[in-house]
Amino acid sequence: MQRMTIIPLTTKTSFNHSAFEMTMAIHPIEYRYGTPEMKALWEEDYRLRCLFQVEAALARAEEEVGLIPAGAAAGIAEAALKARPERAKEIEAEIGHDMMAVVLALAEETEYGEWIHLGATSNDILDTATGLQIKASLDVLDSKLRRLLAILLDNALKYKDLVCAGRTHGQIAVPTTYGLRYAIWASEVARHIERLEQLRPRAAVGKVSGAVGTQAAFGKKGIEIQARVMEILKLNSVDVSNQVIQRDRHAEMICWMGLVSTTLDKICLEIRSLQRSEIAEVEEGFGKKQVGSSTMPHKRNPIKAEQVCGLARVVRAMMEPAMANIPLWDERDLTNSSCERVLFPESFIMTDHLLALAARVLEGLRLRNDNIERNLMMMKGLNMAEAVMVELAKRGVGRQQAHEIMRQASMRAFEEKKELALVLCEEPTVARYLSPEEIEKLLDPHLYIGTAVEQVERLCQKLQMYRNR
């Protein structure tokens, strides 16, 4: 047998770097997942410009209270526009401190460099810049959520009276409608919008509190300076803090993204289930040249819905480190910092990607009415046993007795593979109260959807408020 030679991947392995002129990406966010608008908010260039912006706002507030000379704020603001993020990275490589590199890069652009960062600690600038990124990112997610909600509401109304088989425990139950399914999803998405509105003022915040939170370096002007900086930046101001903004705010935000992602997981899991070959009631959009399988040419797989379900697991996993970042030593330690360099951009980029992808799935979803009707009728009336039971109870048969009559009739019909209507017509007690025509009508699933249509219409009317904002 011929033996295969395995080349060990060690630092001693010879590698021809000249053969690779292009640097290949490592993380799938770089080449596979995420939208350009959200990625732009977490690129290092944008973050550094946010840091410059916060330093400029601090200088403006300090000049207004007389803490730095007149004219310094304008000079620093001009420097913030001129400063190059790449220069800050060059300085950081030399001195090993990201925040001081920002300060020095700004100082090179103005004669007022000595007044930059006066009284501030690094996290006054870092956390407040993060607040700017969070604010912009939540705006993007808000827009995506409202688009998704609009798709769900439109489909809820479109399919409000499309009757289909309901299922519990994976078994066919009494009928429901596709409109009600869409409405349930829409209601859940609307709650996420409500949650976002509630958490936004807690998450998109900044602070200027100094080394341990006392604002001692600003004297008695600290509270005024902090309020003014946040007013300039259009951020909410914390009430109190130590060296960092307290991380319960960010943990709530990450948990919210976990909830949003899990709702998308729920929707796409249902789509995947309903697309199974033996059910085949829905079908994810499939391109004319799209390939479903490398070996099975017939396959039309729900790959987008599967991607949503898979990546939702990643976003949910972010909840644990977000919680772990809340307890820090004393007035702060550094354990949250490295974690958040991964946690914040990945959570936002992945959640944004999932919202955009789920919207595409729902927009392109095809409902196959023939199979919906086939599955609705395949139980030969067994799924309508409840309707007959309730009618028997109304006509004088006790509820418990009616339940037992229908249970026995259903089991017989199932075992003998008969239409339930035929079995019921042979039951003396049933025949005493119901005619064959009445039994036939009671077993029509299209007539047993209760208030499903009214519920859909009422919900869609209620949630119009989110479309008008």
pLDDT in tens, the chain (469 residues): 455 555 455 544 454 555 445 678 899 999 999 999 999 999 999 999 999 999 999 999 999 999 999 999 999 999 999 999 999 999 999 999 999 999 999 999 999 999 999 999 999 999 999 999 999 999 999 999 999 999 999 999 999 999 999 999 999 999 999 999 999 999 999 999 999 999 999 999 999 999 999 999 999 999 999 999 999 999 999 999 999 999 999 999 999 999 999 999 999 999 999 999 999 999 998 666 665 655 565 557 888 999 999 999 999 999 999 999 999 999 999 999 999 999 999 999 999 999 999 999 999 999 999 999 999 999 999 999 999 999 999 999 999 999 999 999 999 999 999 999 999 999 999 999 999 999 999 999 999 999 999 999 999 999 988 875 6
Is residue 84 located within the same domain as residue 187?
no
Return the pLDDT at 24.
84
**pTM of the model as a whole:** 0.91
Domain membership of residue 276 (yes or no) is yes
The DSSP bridge partners found for residue 283 are 366
Domain membership of residue 294 (yes or no) is no
CATH number of the domain where residue 436 is located: 1.10.40.30
Instruction: Give, in order, the Cα–Cα distances in Å from 417 to each of 372, 388, 440.
Output: 21, 19, 17
Is residue 190 located within the same domain as residue 238?
yes
φ/ψ (deg, to 5) at 144: -65, -40
Domain membership of residue 413 (yes or no) is yes
Evaluate the CA torsion angle 446, 449, 454, 455 in order and state its sign. negative
Domain membership of residue 256 (yes or no) is yes
Return the pLDDT at 302.
85
Is residue 388 located within the same domain as residue 255?
no
Q: Which of 354, 375, 396 is the last residue of a domain?
A: 375
Q: Which of 115, 136, 167 is the last residue of a domain?
A: 115
Is residue 105 located within the same domain as residue 245?
no
Return the pLDDT at 13.
46
Instruction: Give, in order, the Cα–Cα distances in Å from 121 to each of 9, 89, 118, 207.
Output: 44, 19, 9, 10
Domain membership of residue 20 (yes or no) is no
For the beta carbon of residue 230, count every other beta carbon within 10 angstroms.
21
CATH number of the domain where residue 310 is located: 1.20.200.10
Cα–Cα distance between 423 and 401 in angstroms, integer? Answer: 17
Is residue 199 located within the same domain as residue 311?
yes
Domain membership of residue 130 (yes or no) is yes
Task: Indicate the Cα dihedral angle 290, 295, 299, 304, nearest 10°.
Answer: -60
Q: Which of 332, 354, 375 is the last residue of a domain?
A: 375
Question: Is 293 known to be catalytic?
Answer: yes
Is residue 60 located within the same domain as residue 172?
no
Return the pLDDT at 465.
86
Return the pLDDT at 7.
46
Cα–Cα distance between 58 and 339 in angstroms, integer? Answer: 27
Cα–Cα distance between 423 and 388 in angstroms, integer? Answer: 13
Is residue 83 located within the same domain as residue 147?
no
For the beta carbon of residue 113, count every other beta carbon within 10 angstroms.
18
- Which residue reads 């949503």 in tokens? 308
Domain membership of residue 27 (yes or no) is no
Instruction: Give, in order, the Cα–Cα distances in Å from 302 to each of 28, 276, 309, 365.
Output: 20, 9, 11, 10
Whether 178 contacts 164, CB under 8 Å: yes
Cα–Cα distance between 79 and 101 in angstroms, integer? Answer: 14
CATH number of the domain where residue 53 is located: 1.10.275.10
**Angle CA 317–47–256, to nearest 5:** 30
The one catalytic residue in 17, 18, 169, 277 is 169
Range of the domain at 104: 39-115
- Token pair recorded at residue 158: 């479109």
The one catalytic residue in 97, 293, 435, 446 is 293
Count the domains in the chain. 3
Is residue 78 located within the same domain as residue 198?
no
Question: Is 250 known to be catalytic?
Answer: no
Q: 171 in the Ramachandran plot: left (φ > 0), alpha (ψ -120 to 50) or beta?
A: beta
Is residue 256 located within the same domain as residue 363?
yes
Domain membership of residue 265 (yes or no) is yes
Is residue 267 located within the same domain as residue 243?
yes
Is residue 266 located within the same domain as residue 394?
no
Distance of CA 244 to the CA centre of its chain: 27
Is residue 194 located within the same domain as residue 219?
yes
